[in-house]
Structure 1
Amino acid sequence: MDLTFAPTSQSDADTLVAIRIAAMRESLERIGRFDPQRARERFLAAFAPALCRFIEADGVQVGFVLIRPQDDHWLLDHLYVAPEHQRKGIGATVLRRIFADADAQRMPIRVGALRGSDSNRFYRRYGFVQTDEAEWDIYYVRQPS
Structure 2
Amino acid sequence: MLSLEPVRSEDFDALHELRMAAMRESLERLGRFDPERSRARLADGFDPSCMRHICRGADRIGFLTLLPEGELLNLKHLYLRPGEQGCGAGAWAMAWVKSHGRDVVLHALKQSDANRFYLREGFVPIAEEEFDIQYRWSAPR
Indicate the TM-score class for this superposition, using the shorter chain for normalisation: over 0.9
Separation in structure 1 between the aligned mates of residue 47 and residue 27 of structure 2, nearest angstrom: 23
**What residue number does 1:26 align with?**
25
Residue of structure 1 equivalent to 2:77: 78
Normalized against structure 1, the TM-score is what? 0.94
Paired residues for 1:40-59 under 5 Å: 40-59=39-58
What secondary structure, in the 3-state scheme, does the structure 1 residue paired with 2:99 have?
helix
Matches within 5 A, 1:1-145: 2-101=1-100, 103=101, 107-145=102-140
Structure 2: runs of 5+ lacking an equivalent: none
Secondary structure, in 3 states, of the residue corresponding to 2:41?
A: helix
- List per-residue Cα deviations over 1:84-103 (Å, max 9, x = no partner): 111101001110111112x2
SS at match of 2:16: helix
Q: How far apart in 1 are the matches of 2:50 and 2:99?
A: 17
* Cα root mean square deviation, aligned: 0.7
1:133 partner letter: E
Q: Secondary structure at the match of 1:116?
A: coil
In 2: Cα distance, 1:109 partner to 1:78 partner: 12
SS in 2 for 1:132: strand
TM-score normalized with structure 2 length: 0.97
Partners of 2:118 and 2:67 lie apart in 1 by 17
How many angstroms apart in 2 are the aligned matches of 1:9 and 1:45?
A: 16
Equivalent-residue separation in structure 1 for 2:74 and 2:139 (angstroms): 13
Unaligned regions of 5+ residues in structure 1, if any?
Answer: none
For the residues of structure 2 that align with 1:9 and 1:94, how far apart are their CA atoms? 19
Alignment partners' CA distance in 1, 2:37 and 2:46: 14
Extract structure 1 runs of 4+ deviating beyond 4 A. Answer: none
Distance (Å, rounded) in 2 between the aligned partners of 1:43 and 1:18: 11
Matches of 1:135 and 1:9, distance apart in 2: 32
